Amino acid sequence: MARWDPNARQRLERAALELFVRQGYDRTTVAEIAERAGLAKSTFFRHFADKREVLSGGDALTRLLTGAVAAAPPGAGPRQAVEAALAAVGAQAFTAERHETVRERQQVVAANPELTERELLKREALAAALTAALRERGVPEPTAVLAAVLGLLALRAALARWTARPGQDFTALALAELTALCEAAAAL
Amino acid sequence: MARWDPNARQRLERAALELFVRQGYDRTTVAEIAERAGLAKSTFFRHFADKREVLSGGDALTRLLTGAVAAAPPGAGPRQAVEAALAAVGAQAFTAERHETVRERQQVVAANPELTERELLKREALAAALTAALRERGVPEPTAVLAAVLGLLALRAALARWTARPGQDFTALALAELTALCEAAAAL
DNA sequence: CCGAGTGATGAGACCTTGTCCCATCACCAT
DNA sequence: ATGGTGATGGGACAAGGTCTCATCACTCGG
């Protein structure tokens, strides 16, 4: 019944998250995930480069952040561009309805060093992409790196708070974190 | 002849780096490394949690950085404490005689995503340790995080330049990077 | 001098991840 | 229907990593 169902990739992602939440990442085998999705082990590796990648969620976040930076008004400085990027993420990625899924995913990742490693690699790539987007706006070199890093620092801190309790607005949390960081930076 | 030679761990590290440089990380098996060190595969995993860990170099860098922060004069602010930490690293870790080894290691790591992931995890742990050391000095929360991140950012940038060409002083490079970052931060 | 204890090692069975190849199946166009 | 295309299944295979048990060198007390 499963063969040729169109959403193989999505089915694998869902099956993986469910199993990881229920019994843990390392007590879940790839064969198990594939079976639950109605597929074979070899098919799993056709969709994902490795077991960790099934939780990566693609490059949606990167496109969201860099897109918002590029779309910021011409007069906006790096600070405003990063704020726009955080607002975009709050509006389209970390919304109230996705709260539960994001929270589960965060917990699974935090509980496993392997997954955390992968997360850090993604964040590094994200930082590079953000820096490039800022440079594209004419932001000079050291400032672009700094603004990108601070933006991701604020994003991560806000995400931790947002997943901890429901009902809060991610954008507000992120902007508050960014403000605190910028004030601390000015006083250095 | 090798059994009971005292420096098993060091022998494994050397053998690994040599093989990685000569034939690449993923074309080198753990069995090969162990054989070259005169040991068995199972002994390798008694000394290192996994294949990547053989290049981690232990926690010497962490102790160096946090130690220097803790030993900074009481009147010094976070900026001066981080500068002291960078100077300590330049004086005791990234010295001229270790230049070649550090350069080889950097190249191997940069060429392999798996090793880069591990490196990022180490850097994250390092950032946490640095932040804690600064907090211990009474530096308030957002400032401690920021100073630690900027310090590591400067360290990484300086390391890239230092390994690129020999003969330069690491400390001077790192302090220059930090100054540039702080100036950019003040202008945000 | 000898024997028990200790700690590092060797050897090998075993499971999982990840790669690769080939046969198979569904769907589509002619 | 007929052949092409692309996703899948299945299984063999290498390497990473875990675990257990036997072995060896060294030490210390009798």
> In CATH, what number is assigned to the domain containing residue B101?
1.10.357.10
C-alpha B46/C-alpha B33 separation (Å) is 14
Number of H helices, E strands in chain B: 9, 0
C-alpha A146/C-alpha B51 separation (Å) is 33
Residuewise pLDDT in 10s, chain A (188 residues): 445 667 899 999 999 999 999 999 999 999 999 999 999 999 999 999 999 999 998 899 999 999 999 999 999 999 999 999 999 999 999 999 999 999 999 999 999 999 999 999 999 999 999 999 999 999 998 999 999 999 999 999 999 999 998 889 999 999 999 999 999 999 88
Q: Are residues B65 and B132 in the same domain?
A: yes
Please report the pLDDT score of residue B41 as a whole number.
Answer: 97
Q: How many CB atoms lie within 10 A of CB B167?
A: 7
Shortest CA distance from B178: residue in chain A: A142
Mutation pick from B56, B115, B117, B150 vs chain A, by most beta carbons of A within 10 Å, is B117
Phi, psi of B5, rounded to the nearest 5 degrees = -65, 140
> In CATH, what number is assigned to the domain containing residue B49?
1.10.10.60
Q: Are residues A39 and A66 in the same domain?
A: no
Q: Is the CB of A23 under 7 A from strand C?
A: no
C-alpha B28/C-alpha B50 separation (Å) is 14
Q: Which of A121, A142, A182 sits opposite B116 (nearest CB)?
A: A121
Tell me, yes or no, whether B1 lies in a domain.
no
Tell me, yes or no, whether B3 lies in a domain.
no
Q: Inter-chain contact A153–B142, Cβ cutoff 8 Å?
A: no
Chain A interface includes B153 (CB < 8 A): yes
Q: Are residues B70 and B157 in the same domain?
A: yes
Chain B interface includes A121 (CB < 8 A): yes
Tell me the pLDDT tens digit for each residue of B76-89. Answer: 999 999 999 999 99
C-alpha B118/C-alpha B109 separation (Å) is 9
* B166: containing domain: 57-186
Q: Inter-chain contact B121–A113, Cβ cutoff 8 Å?
A: yes
Tell me, yes or no, whether B2 lies in a domain.
no
Q: Are residues B36 and B118 in the same domain?
A: no
The contacts of residue B113 (CB under 8 Å, 6+ apart) are A121
Q: Inter-chain contact A142–B183, Cβ cutoff 8 Å?
A: yes
Please report the pLDDT score of residue B105 as a whole number.
Answer: 96
Chain A interface includes B1 (CB < 8 A): no
Q: Are residues A76 and A35 in the same domain?
A: no
Q: Are residues A15 and A71 in the same domain?
A: no
Please report the pLDDT score of residue A142 as a whole number.
Answer: 94
What residues of B are in contact with residue A120 (Cβ under 8 Å)? 117, 120-121, 123-124
**Which amino acid would we find at residue A103?**
R
For residues A152 and A130, is the Cβ–Cβ distance under 8 A? yes
What residues of A are in contact with residue B142 (Cβ under 8 Å)? 180-181, 183-184
Q: Are residues B143 and B76 in the same domain?
A: yes
How distant is C1' of D21 from CA of B1, in Å? 23
Three-state secondary structure string covering A74-112: CCCCHHHHHHHHHHHHHHHCCCHHHHHHHHHHHHHHHCC
C-alpha A50/C-alpha A48 separation (Å) is 5
Please report the pLDDT score of residue A72 as a whole number.
Answer: 96
The contacts of residue A60 (CB under 8 Å, 6+ apart) are A93
Q: Inter-chain contact B146–A181, Cβ cutoff 8 Å?
A: yes
Q: Are residues B126 and B163 in the same domain?
A: yes
Q: Is the CB of B128 under 7 A from strand D?
A: no
Q: How many domains does chain A have?
A: 2
How distant is C1' of C24 from CA of A10, in Å? 24
Chain A interface includes B118 (CB < 8 A): yes
Q: Is the CB of A39 under 7 A from strand D?
A: yes
How distant is C1' of C26 from CA of A43, in Å? 16
Written as six digits, the tokens of B103 are 């350069």
Burial of B135: CB neighbours in 10 Å, binned 0-12, 13-18, 19+ = middle
For A151-177, letters b (16+ CB in 10 Å) and e give bbbbbebbbeebbeeeeeebbebbbeb
Residuewise pLDDT in 10s, chain B (188 residues): 445 667 899 999 999 999 999 999 999 999 999 999 999 999 999 999 999 999 998 899 999 999 999 999 999 999 999 999 999 999 999 999 999 999 999 999 999 999 999 999 999 999 999 999 999 999 998 999 999 999 999 999 999 999 998 889 999 999 999 999 999 999 88
The contacts of residue B79 (CB under 8 Å, 6+ apart) are A188, B147, B178, B182
CA A28 distance to own-chain centroid: 23
For residue A127, CA distances in Å to A41, A49, A61, A62, B130 come to 33, 22, 11, 9, 21
Q: Are residues A103 and A160 in the same domain?
A: yes
For residues B14 and B38, is the Cβ–Cβ distance under 8 A? no
Q: Nearest-CA neighbor of B149 among A67, A148, A158, A30?
A: A148
Chain A interface includes B150 (CB < 8 A): yes
Q: Are residues B48 and B62 in the same domain?
A: no
Written as six digits, the tokens of B137 are 């000095």
Q: Are residues A98 and A156 in the same domain?
A: yes
Please report the pLDDT score of residue B4 as a whole number.
Answer: 63
Q: How many residues does the structure list for chain A?
A: 188
Please report the pLDDT score of residue A1 as a whole number.
Answer: 40
For residue A89, CA distances in Å to A105, A129, A132, A158, B188 come to 17, 15, 18, 11, 22
**Which amino acid would we find at residue A186?**
A
Q: Are residues A177 and A163 in the same domain?
A: yes
The contacts of residue A123 (CB under 8 Å, 6+ apart) are A152, A156
Phi, psi of B76, rounded to the nearest 5 degrees = -70, 140
